[in-house]
Amino acid sequence: MTMKFTILATLLSTAAAFAPTPSNSRVSTSVRAELNGWVPDESKFAFGLPGAIPPFEDGFDPLGLATGTPLSTMKQWREAEVQHGRVAMLAAVGMLVTEEPIEYHPLFEAFNKDIGPAIRHLDEVDAVSPFFLTFLTIAIGSVEWNRALRGFSKPEGEFAFQQLKDNYYPGDVGFDPLNLKPTDADEFATMQTKELQNGRLAMLGAAGMIAQELVNGKEIFVNLGLATDRFDPSSVPIQF
């Protein structure tokens, strides 16, 4: 796989969504406000969830994954898609920023040498400061714990695995330090559609970049011919 092929495939790809299936779409008025103005509608694409863009406004589900899928499962899929898209956007930006020629490492100093492809950076950090991964695991766990408390139902009564609360909108974990979330339902839907499209693109892009670096062990801009390969594997504390 070459980076040119990966980028071309990424730009031409359209993320899959799901066609609506029959389900109970009645939601109380009190819940509607909690769902950011979205009211599940079984007659619309993906129960009316944002995320569809031309030319697939009426649904894109070539594998029929949504056949017989209830609303609760659709919400779980959207929750997973939003969260994975956010992680992928961070990953895609992080890989490009921390590699040659930019090489910005906010957590440690590496200005005096090229430390190689991003897929091995955590290995290098772990070799020098093994407690860092413990701290990172705790940090990620605390974020996921907050998401679970906010969006997931308690395991009691008639409970299904990864069951979301009725008044939880997929992806809305309550983190908005810059107060960017629109109060208008239509504006919110537009913003989430943009987030979903960027997240879908980032998932494809990050996967392509990781695959490329696994193939030949070279950094992204080096593969593109935009940076000089000055990485010396013997200068880092792990085996390449």
Q: Which amino acid is at 197?
A: Q
What is the full DSSP assignment across 151-187? HBPPS-SS--TTPBPTT--TT--S--TT----SSHHH
Is the pLDDT reported for residue 114 higher than 50?
yes
Is the pLDDT reported for residue 184 higher than 70?
yes
Contacts of residue 64, Cβ cutoff 8 Å, sequence gap at least 6: 19
pLDDT tens digits for range 43-54: 888 888 998 888
Residue 44, annotated ligand binder?
no
Say which CATH topology domain 3-8+74-235 has: Chlorophyll a-b binding protein (1.10.3460)
**Across the chain, how many H-helices and E-strands are there?**
7, 0
- Written as six digits, the tokens of 159 are 């409970």
Residue 81, annotated ligand binder?
yes
Asked if the bond preceding 62 is cis, omega within 30° of 0, the reply is no
Is the pLDDT reported for residue 214 higher than 70?
yes
Phi, psi values for residue 90, rounded to 5°: -65, -40
Per-chain mean pLDDT for the chain: 84
- Per DSSP, what are the bridge partners of residue 152? 164
Is the pLDDT reported for residue 12 higher than 50?
no
User: Token pair 């239509």 is at which residue?
Assistant: 186
Do residues 201 and 193 lie in contact, with contact meaning Cβ atoms separated by under 8 Å? no
Residue 124, annotated ligand binder?
no
- Per DSSP, what are the bridge partners of residue 164? 152
Residue 84, annotated ligand binder?
yes
What is the full DSSP assignment across 97-147? HTSTTT---TTS--TTS----GGGHHHHHHHH-THHHHHHHHHHHHHHHHH
Q: Which amino acid is at 68?
A: G
